[in-house]
Structure 1
C-alpha cells in the first residue's frame, strides 16, 4: 500500500457515512455495511445500494474518477443501474471520496473476500449471462482507459510487470484493445444469478484482460479455471489474451511472499506454458 492510501476495512468511516446520508438525503442501513480495502458499501432506506470509495490524489488521472457513473451508458450488460453520485476532496490528507448510488443487487458475491478454493457450482445460465455481458462490453465505444488496481493500464505497465518476472525474451506488443471491466474477480460477480459489480476501473484494455483476471482468480480450483478458459476461449487463446494471462501470473508471483497462497503454485505452472506459447507465436 502506497503512502496516502488507507485500508477502509479498519479505518474509521462513521463521519463519512454521515456525510453520505446528508448529501444523498438517505439513511444507510448500518447493519448491512460491507467494508473492503478500497470501498465501503451499504443498503439505503430507499432500497438502493451506496458504494463509497476513498482514493489518494496520486491515483486519479486526467480522465477523472467516475467509472461507475460513466458505465451507465453501457448496454447489454448484467450490471446495476446507476442513479446518483457525489464526490468531495479531503484536503487534510490529499484524498478524494466518491459515492455512487445504484440499483440494489440482492444476489451475493461468489466469493466476498479471500481466495476462491471451492468450486461455486455456477449454472450454465450464469455462464451464458457472463459471456453475453463481456461480449457486449467489448463492442462498446469509449475513450476511457482501464485502471486495474487503480493503475492506468498501458503497454509500458504490462511490459514492465512481465519482464520483471520473466525476463526480456517475450514480445509484449499489444495490438488489440477493447473495453473491459478491469477488476473481474469473484468478489465482483454474483451467483447464482450473474451480476457484474464495481465498475469504477472500467475502460479500454488489452483484449483478454477480464477473461485472464477471472481465470487467474480461479487457479486454485482447476476445474473452474478450465471452465473459464473454455467459455472465454477466443479471448484467452489470442496473443493479447495470453499476454494478459501472463500479466496476471506475474503480478501474483511478484507480490506474494506467502507460500500458502493457493494461486502461486498454479500461476508458476501456467506461466511456463504461457511463456512457451508466446515465444512460439512470435
Structure 2
C-alpha cells in the first residue's frame, strides 16, 4: 500500500533486517516476488519459503528504546486473544533482536493466496462479492467485538481524540461525545486489508478496544 522509501539507508537497513529474519526463523526469500512496504519504510514484508510451504514474513523496525506499544505488539496480541474462527493469517513464529541503534521484530505468518479487494483503502472499481462473503465478514467482526478485551491492550483511538475530533468536523453541535461502550476492533478495517473471493482479514497491528462498531 506504501511505496518503497526514498532514503537508501532505510532501504538497505530493512533489506538487511529481512535477511537476518529469514535466518533467525528458518525460511528463505521467495525469488521473483516484490516487497510490501509500510509507512516510511517502518515495515517490510514478502513471501518466503519454509520447510512446510510458503509463508509471509514481516519485519518491523523502531529506534532502540521506542519499540513496543500498540503497533509493535498488535499481531501477537490478536493471535493470543482472538478465536480461531476469525479468518486471518495465523502467526507461526516470531523473533526480536537489536542491531546498532535499531530494534526489530520479525513475524512469520501463514501465506494468504486470495488477492486483496483493493490496492488502496478506498474501493475504486466494481468487484463482485458474494453474499456469503458479507455474511462471513459480519460474523468475523461480531466475534471480534464479543471477545473480552485484554487488560493490557491499548485503545485504537483515545477518548480525548474523539472529544477533539468530532467538534472539529461538526462544530459545536451539542453532542455528547463520551463513548459508553468499548469493544475489540481490528482498528484498520478497509478494502486493502480484506481479501476475496475467500475472506481473510489482514494486518492486525492496530488491533485493540475501540468505540463499539468502529
Q: Same fold (TM over 0.5)?
A: yes
DSSP-derived class of the 1:45 partner: strand
* Residue 197 of structure 2 corresponds to residue 188 of structure 1: no
For residues 207-264 of structure 1, give each alpha carbon's deviation from its aligned partner in whole angstroms, at most 9, with x where no partner exists: 111xxxxxxxxxxxxxxxxxxxxxxxxxxxxxxxxxxxxxxxxxxxxxxxxxxxxxxx
The 5 A counterparts of 1:98-117 are 98-113=105-120, 115-117=122-124
Report if the CA contact (8 A) 1:138-1:179 is conserved.
yes
Question: Of 158, 162, 184, which aligns to 2:162?
Answer: 158
Q: Structure 1 residues 190-199 or 135-144, which shifts more?
A: 135-144
Match of 2:20?
19
Figure out how many residues of one structure are paired with residues of the other and give that number.
195
Q: Flag the structure with higher strand content.
A: 2
* Residue 45 of structure 2 corresponds to residue 41 of structure 1: yes
Report if the CA contact (8 A) 1:33-1:40 is conserved.
no
Q: 1:128 to 1:114 in 2, by over 3 A?
A: closer
Match of 2:97?
88
Q: Structure 1 residues 106-115 or 48-57, which shifts more?
A: 48-57
Structure 1: gaps of 5 or more residues: 1-6, 148-152, 210-282
Report if the CA contact (8 A) 2:145-2:184 is conserved.
yes
* Residue 209 of structure 2 corresponds to residue 204 of structure 1: yes
Report if the CA contact (8 A) 1:122-1:191 is conserved.
yes
Q: 1:96 to 1:80 in 2, by over 3 A?
A: same
Q: 1:164 to 1:16 in 2, by over 3 A?
A: same
TM-score, normalised by the number of residues in structure 1: 0.63
CA RMSD of aligned residues (A): 2.3
DSSP-derived class of the 2:134 partner: helix
Report if the CA contact (8 A) 1:181-1:201 is conserved.
yes
The 5 A counterparts of 1:1-282 are 9-10=4-5, 11-12=10-11, 13-38=14-39, 39-46=43-50, 47-55=54-62, 60-61=68-69, 65-73=72-80, 74-75=82-83, 76-89=85-98, 92=101, 96-113=103-120, 115-143=122-150, 144-147=153-156, 153-169=157-173, 170-209=175-214
Q: Structure 1 residues 109-118 or 41-50, which shifts more?
A: 109-118
For residues 4-25 of structure 1, give each alpha carbon's deviation from its aligned partner in whole angstroms, at most 9, with x where no partner exists: xxx7722413212211112112
Report if the CA contact (8 A) 1:146-1:180 is conserved.
no
CA distance in 2, matches of 1:166, 1:53: 37
TM-score, normalised by the number of residues in structure 2: 0.81
DSSP-derived class of the 2:165 partner: helix
DSSP-derived class of the 1:196 partner: coil
Q: Which has the higher contact order (CA 8 A, sep 6+)?
A: 2
Structure 2: gaps of 5 or more residues: none
DSSP-derived class of the 1:40 partner: strand
DSSP-derived class of the 1:112 partner: coil
